[in-house]
Amino acid sequence: MRLIHTVVTLIVGFALVLFAGSSIQAAETIKIGIPVPLTGPFASVGDTADKALKLAIAEYNAKGGLLGRQLEGIVMDTQDGRPEVVKAVFERLVNSKVDVLMTSYCALSPIDVQTMAKYDVPYFSGIAYHVIADAIEKGMPDTRNVFHVSWSQMAYADSFREVLPTIPAKMGWRPPNNKMAVIRVEFPYNTAPSDEVIKMAQKDGYEVVINEFTQFGKVDWNDIMTKLDRERPAYVSLWLLLATDSALFQKAFVQRFGKKGYDGIVVYQYTPSTPEYMALTKEAAEGVIWMGGSMKVNEPAVASYLNRWKAKYGAYPTDNYATHVRQIFDMWAEAVTATGCSNCYNRVVNYVLQHPHKGLHTNFVFNPRNNTTLYGDGFYPVEWSQIRGGKHIHVYPENKYKEGDFIKPPWMK
């Protein structure tokens, strides 16, 4: 009897160990890697992405997490995007047993793509940059787990050609000439689409009278202001990567032409959408036109999301990555839920590729050749906004999200 009792005790004890082990396994969190720039020149965008993912994790956890497990974010600073820093951050995150990596953007080279090609863990990057898309395509099939959740920045050129000629009529303005200024920093993200804009402009009858290259960190813009004062192009386009450079240009422009007037429009590639630009320019940003992505506040789902953001952080976001990164998170969460597994990476990747995702305000469909979001009004369009009263007013595409038309900027007298 004593022997039987001992055997039964051992069996029960072993069962309890198995039960405890399965409970521990069930209780393990699903880890999400968040490589974002929290310091350096892109910190404002990194902060937005960090906040978006923390809000997503909190909201999902409040509803039970995913697959009955809580979610845990692991944040690491990619700083200024130097390749050695980014590589180290990504490897540390993968070694931390994350099941996915997500970012707004964290590198201006393809080092993130090259690093993740060695692993199966899904990686989603929100940057619009052809270098990333090209690296994914070149690295296939090893890079099949890497998603470029945007169009290539070359879409800016196509949109510029389409929308620019419509602006004068929409704002009731008769341009004094067909002159154009193209001011850009010597970096592929900016030079590639602006090169194409120059080619298209010349074909379409514009005269490019200023084609100016600048360097990062330009402080004194008086030389450019003098050229603008002399040539007076009706169309001034800025292709500058850093919000600080763009803000200093705009402040110099308003200082030179705010009182005496300038009969022309100023159009930027993306940078005015960042909180840093808005904070630095303040009133000088009034009337600025920019193209990129908006938050579409007229969409009920977006309005609800932004109100929840304000409740958590005390103010509404001023960067479109607030909604864009949340859409990335929801897309991955849908795939995990559908496949029933967070670490069945190939199944999760297949689901994302094979199932279009309707986000808060964007329809995501990926080109399997380079895992890049399809571009266009029905998918993910380039959107145009104008800054008015410290807010981004969505103007184009002319769909249900439209909030107004282009109006004359205050420097037009």
Domain-wise residue ranges, the chain: 26-154+297-373, 155-295+383-396
Q: Which helix (H) or strand (E) holds 309?
A: helix 300-313
Is 0.85 topped by the overall pTM? no
Q: Hey, what are 240's tokens?
A: 């500058």
Q: Report residue 406: phi and psi, to 5°.
A: -65, 140
Tokens linked to 199 = 């080619």
Distance CA 349, CA 332 (A): 9
Q: In terms of CATH architecture, what is 155-295+383-396?
A: 3-Layer(aba) Sandwich (3.40)
DSSP-derived letter for residue 374 is P
384/269 Cα distance (integer angstroms): 10
User: Hey, what are 65's tokens?
Assistant: 């997490």
Domain 26-154+297-373 identical in fold to domain 155-295+383-396: yes
Residue 372 clears pLDDT 90, i.e. is over it: yes
> Looking at residue 275, what is its pLDDT?
84
pLDDT at residue 3 greater than cutoff 70: no
Name the 3-class secondary structure at 100: strand
Query: b/e map of 4-35 (b: 16 or more CB within 10 Å)?
Result: eeeeeeeeeeeeeeeeeeeeeeeeebbbbbbb
Are 33 and 76 in contact by the 8 Å Cβ rule? The answer is yes
pLDDT digits (tens, 9 = 90+) for 303-336: 999 999 999 999 998 788 999 999 999 999 999 9
Mean of pLDDT values over 90-102? 98
Provide the residue type at 74 as one letter: I
The least confident of 3-12, 141-150, 250-259 is 3-12
- The tens digit of pLDDT for each residue in 278-294 reads 999 999 999 999 998 77
**DSSP element (H, E) containing 280:** helix 275-281
Quick one: pLDDT band at residue 27, thresholds 50, 70, 90?
low
Does the 26-154+297-373 domain belong in CATH 3.30.2130.10?
Answer: no
Beta-strand relationship, 123-125 and 146-148: parallel
